[in-house]
């Protein structure tokens, strides 16, 4: 009888280095239960033959896991998304084949909430224009009219899940009036958090001085914020997105910034990311970070440890958690 341990395959995009090839954290968590191997793959290429024999796959970034890919897996007991979003995985296909799809929804809660607030403060207090002016050896405070007192502003959230709540609490502590819209949240939850609920997305948009996106990408939310929705925001409002790029339509957002119909935007995620042209990058009053809101050494260790523990449970035939299908 073979004594070979089951394989846990970690799939990482070739152009990104999220973890060391030796997968030290995962290997330690799976010691004696599975062997661990990191595969650096191209987004559009097929999977290595060895991966098709793996009993659990841990997926970094947006490695596509289509119906065809899932159908080719021979022994897979779990597909685990290293992160919150799982829109790159065909969860229905996996469900049909009895394969759990799990994510790690709580590893970066603090980091993403902090990042959303940091972008909001940078916009409300015009940190980047002031930095640029000071470095030009100027001192005229040309953006003084855009600098806002937080206690006079409404902070609007689209979505009040884990990260949305963490962001709402931070915004409330800073003095914002906090308002949210989330059609999937039961009545009364907002009372526990101490924030207000908008009756509709349109109501939220009209009221918000800062609109912060905190919902998953899905058929319901893709393209949710487009030309019509942006027009409902005040010209003095700011938009912040640390969720998924395709929730906010890029072209109308950049047009609104160029035309002065929106005061600014802070994006950690962009539709069709990254930015594609110098003209996009030169859009006025735009702050863009590199889909990095989740990043911190502490968060990465937590995420990788959780993924490895889910893989361990799947291989041992134990119940898995964070299942999304």
Name the percent of the chain lying above pLDDT 70.
98
The pTM assigned to this predicted structure is 0.87
Whole-number pLDDT of residue 2: 45
Q: What is the mean pLDDT of residues 268-280?
A: 96
pLDDT in tens, 210-225: 999 999 998 999 999 9
Domain boundaries, the chain: 7-107+297-315, 109-288
pLDDT of residue 1: 37
Residue 84: band (very low, low, confident or very high) from pLDDT cuts 50, 70, 90: confident
Q: What is the pLDDT of residue 3?
A: 57
Correct CATH for 109-288 of 3.40.50.300, 3.30.460.80, 3.40.50.720, 3.20.20.150: 3.40.50.720
pLDDT at position 266 over 80: yes
Tell me the three state secondary structure of residue 9. strand
Tell me the Ramachandran region of residue 188: left when phi exceeds 0, alpha when psi lies from -120 to 50, beta otherwise.
left
Say yes or no to pLDDT of 150 above 50.
yes
Q: Which residues are catalytic?
A: 244, 273, 291
Q: How far is CA 293 from CA 117, 118, 304, in A?
A: 11, 10, 16
Stronger pLDDT, 40 or 287, i.e. the higher one: 287
- In this prediction, residue 46 has a pLDDT band, given cuts at 50, 70 and 90, of confident
The per-residue pLDDT of the chain, averaged, comes to 94
237-266: average pLDDT = 98
Q: For the domain with range 7-107+297-315, which CATH number is right: 3.40.50.720, 3.30.465.10, 3.90.1530.10, 3.40.190.10?
A: 3.40.50.720
What Å distances lie between residue 125 and 115, 121, 146, 153, 234, CA to CA?
15, 6, 8, 12, 17
160 to each of 85, 127, 157, 299, how far by Cα in Å?
Answer: 15, 27, 7, 21
Assess whether pLDDT exceeds 90 at residue 87: no
Is the pLDDT score of 156 beyond 80?
yes
Lowest mean pLDDT among 13-22, 135-144, 145-154, 159-168: 13-22
């Amino acid at each position: 009888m073979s004594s070979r341990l089951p394989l846990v395959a970690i799939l990482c995009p070739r152009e990104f280095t999220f973890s060391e090839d030796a997968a030290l954290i995962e290997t330690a968590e799976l010691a004696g239960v599975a062997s661990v191997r990191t595969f650096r793959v191209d987004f559009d290429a097929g999977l290595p033959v060895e991966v098709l024999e793996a009993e659990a796959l841990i997926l970094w970034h947006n490695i596509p896991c289509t119906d065809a890919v899932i159908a080719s897996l021979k022994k897979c007991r779990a597909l685990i998304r290293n992160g919150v979003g799982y829109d790159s995985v065909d969860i229905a296909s996996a469900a049909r084949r009895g394969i759990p799809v799990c994510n790690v929804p709580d590893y970066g809660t603090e980091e993403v909430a902090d990042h959303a607030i940091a972008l909001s403060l940078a916009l409300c207090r015009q940190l980047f224009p002031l930095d640029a002016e000071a470095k030009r050896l100027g001192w005229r405070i040309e953006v003084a009219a855009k600098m806002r007192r937080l206690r006079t502003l409404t902070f609007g959230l689209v979505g009040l899940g884990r990260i949305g709540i963490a962001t709402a609490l931070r915004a409330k502590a800073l003095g914002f009036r906090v308002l949210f819209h989330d059609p999937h949240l039961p009545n009364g939850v907002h009372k526990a958090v101490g924030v207000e609920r908008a009756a509709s997305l349109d109501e939220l948009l009209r009221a918000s001085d800062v609109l912060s996106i905190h919902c998953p990408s899905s058929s319901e939310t893709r393209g949710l914020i487009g030309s019509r929705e942006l027009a409902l925001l005040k010209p003095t409002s700011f938009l912040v997105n640390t969720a998924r790029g395709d929730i906010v339509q890029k072209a109308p957002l950049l047009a609104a910034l160029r035309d002065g119909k929106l005061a600014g935007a802070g994006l950690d995620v962009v539709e069709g990311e990254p930015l594609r042209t110098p003209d996009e990058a030169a859009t006025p009053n735009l702050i863009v970070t590199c889909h990095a809101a989740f990043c911190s050494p502490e968060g990465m260790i937590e995420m990788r440890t959780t993924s490895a523990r889910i893989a361990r449970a799947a291989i041992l035939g134990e119940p898995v958690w964070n299942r999304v299908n």
